Structure 1
Amino acid sequence: MIVVDDGLVSGATMHAALASLRKRRPARLVCALPIAARAGLDQVRALADEIICLDTPDRIENLAHFYHEFQLVSDDRVRRLIGMALTQSQGRVMGAATSVPSLSKATQIPYRTTHLRAMLESAPNAVGVALMVHAGGAQRRAARSQYLVRKLRAKGFATMLVDLQPDSRVDEARDFDVDDMVARVDKALDFLRTGTPFASLPISLLSAGTAAAAALRSAANHASQLGAVACLAGRIDLAGSATLQRIETPTLLMCASSDRDSVRMHQLAFGQMYCPRKLMVVPASGCGFDDRRALEDVATLTIDWFKGHLAERSLPCLSYRG
């Protein structure tokens, strides 16, 4: 058992934690700290089998002085993270014990006075389910979405492909449609949990175009329901800075190297986010992801991202590759 804290001043909190865990007779109990006052560290030495500490100043007035960023974690966020971990753990156990059937089914999701078209597909015993959303029924976008869900299924995912604006024949929804699309993504998530055999599986969310803004807003509001998010060539700027800063779910952003405006937009959005995230500028020529090699790269990146967050939530990190 390894117990970690952001720092130690008096040692009282760490002492209580180690004393409680010691009663459970762990094989080895390690206390790991980036910084600790020497007097406080002396208070906990007898309770740990090993102490790892990077810096031990004589006196610490305020731990925040030793950090570039030092934001306190709220009780509400701790509860959400614990709830997410429990949901993912239960999902894995249930998924292992319960046989998720092979499935290929076209369905409709009731939404207000209309319906959203959805395609559910899965091989037996899927490891997770990927909800793929896009806006508009343009042939090019539909073909790209179908390619990506086929690749996900080949790697053991169940998929639900949803067109958020089935009556549209353009590639992009209008900016003022985003709020309505958020409600449609929320409805799709609810349907996935209550109207499909995939209720026990961890959910990942994949989006493209204007739908990416809606997906990110929905992710910010439903952190406990999602294991990972990936956005492809998305108008993520339409999500808004406040949304980007609230997202907690690990998020992968992908844009084409051939679209410089999109690259700049993604770099700006990436800098406003605090969740575990990655920005990938995918080598592409011509019309971006119409390039087959670029689309293959997108599929690989998405699958790796989703699988990497199936088992557990990644530690917060920053990574960028141009």
Structure 2
Amino acid sequence: MNRHITLQTPHGSLLGQLERPDFPRGLILLARSHHLPIDTVSTANLVTQGYAVFVMELLSAHELQFADATQNVPRLALRLIDILDMIRNDGDMQDLPLGIFASGEIAPAAIRAAAQRDAQVKAVVCHGGLIDRAGAQALDLLVAPLLMLFDADDSIGETAYQRATSHLNCVHEKQVLEIGEATAIPVATWFSRHF
């Protein structure tokens, strides 16, 4: 089953798509600032692994005109919380174990949102990103198990992760991806372990 979902904000519409197989193992919220072609590949791979996938933009077309829009961690975290609240009230998604998969600049906001919705979010995977920008309080409060995936050349992201580990009390692991290695298998494995 495929559904297109729109979330209205004061700054414009956010577009999302839910792809739900008949008997999903859980729901993965694929959080992105805007739609990327790689999302289609990631979604297909995760659906093949048995997961429902909800891809949701966090920025409106208007907001994307501003170069620093993806740097506003508080706003992005609030958007994610609004989306998590929408999931909690949606008949197709509300009863499924939920994980967040975020990449790059969305990663700190995903940490903040998961920390604030600790009863709802069962696990988090971040592909890169400066997660220390989530802030010490969010890192301290995070209870969802966290997997950090890094590309082989992402030394900046790994350094940010090392800074963040002094605040992390949750189960957390780091994995370096080989060049060209897809994220679907480590992501699906992490969620199956913690759902």
Question: Same fold by TM (over 0.5)?
Answer: yes
Cα distance in 2 for residues equivalent to 1:169 and 1:152: 30
User: 1:126 corresponds to which letter in structure 2?
Assistant: P
What is the rounded CA distance, in whole Å, between the counterparts of 1:171 and 1:128 in structure 2?
A: 34
Query: Structure 1 pair 203/172, CA: closer, same or farther in 2 (3 Å)?
Result: farther
Which SS does the other structure have where 2:13 is aligned?
strand
Aligned to 2:54: 160
Q: CA deviation at 1:272?
A: 2.6
Give the letter aligned to residue 301 of structure 1: P
What SS is found at the alignment partner of 2:102? strand
Letter in structure 1 aligned against 2:124? V
SS at match of 1:223: coil
CA distance in 1, matches of 2:126, 2:138: 15
Kept in 1, the 8 Å contact 2:33–2:70? The answer is no
Q: What RMSD, in angstroms, separates the aligned Cα atoms of the two structures? A: 1.9
Match of 1:184 among 74, 79, 98: 79
Counterpart-to-counterpart distance in 2, 1:225 and 1:145: 23
Residue 190 of structure 2 corresponds to 305
Amino acid at match of 2:192: K
Give 1:145 shift. Answer: 2.3
Write out aligned runs for 1:57-76 (5 A).
none
Q: Is the CA contact 2:11–2:60 (under 8 Å) kept in the aligned structure 1?
A: no
SS at match of 1:261: helix
Q: Report 1:252-267 matches (<5 A).
A: 252-267=147-162
CA-to-partner distance for each residue in 1:176-219, whole Å, 9 max, x for gaps?
x2111111101111111213412111111111122111110011
Q: Give the deviation of 1:172 after TM superposition.
A: 7.0
Asked if structure 1 preserves the Cα contact closer than 8 Å seen for 2:127 and 2:148, the reply is yes
3-state SS of paired residue (2:24): coil
Given residue 133 of structure 1, which amino acid in structure 2 is its aligned partner? A
Residue 129 (1) aligns with residue 27 (2): yes
Question: Are 1:240 and 2:138 an aligned pair?
Answer: no
1:144 aligns with 2:38: yes
Question: Using the alignment, how far apart are the partners of 1:172 and 1:256 within structure 2?
Answer: 23
Partner of 1:249, secondary structure, is coil
State the TM-score, normalizing by the size of structure 2: 0.91
Q: Structure 2: how far apart are the matches of 1:230 and 1:158?
A: 16
Post-superposition Cα deviations, 1:139-193, rounded to whole Å, max 9, x if no partner, equal xxx1222222211111111110011013226897443x21111111011111112
Q: What is the SS of the residue equivalent to 2:126?
A: strand
Instruction: Measure the CA separation in 2 of the matches of 1:171 and 1:257.
Output: 26
Match of 1:231 in 2: 126
Between structures 1 and 2, the one with greater strand share:
2
CA 1:157–1:106 in structure 2 vs 1: closer, same or farther (change >3 Å)?
same
Matched, 1:112 2:6: no
In structure 2, the residue matched to 1:215 is: 110
Structure 1: 5+ residue stretches without partners: 1-102, 285-292, 311-322
Q: Does 1:270 align with 2:165?
A: yes
**How far apart are the structure 1 equivalents of 2:65 and 2:18?**
22
Q: What is the CA–CA distance in structure 1 between the aligned matches of 2:124 and 2:67, rounded to whole Å?
A: 21
- How far the C-alpha of 1:239 sits from its partner, in A, is 0.4
CA offset digits 1:230-273 (Å, max 9, x no partner): 11112312201221111111111111121222221222223431
TM score, norm. by length of structure 1: 0.56
Verify the 8 A CA contact 1:172 1:209 in the aligned structure 2.
Answer: no
What is the percentage of aligned positions where both structures have the same residue?
Answer: 23
Is the contact made by 1:110 and 1:116 (CA closer than 8 Å) also made in structure 2? yes
- Quote the offset at 1:112 in angstroms: 3.3
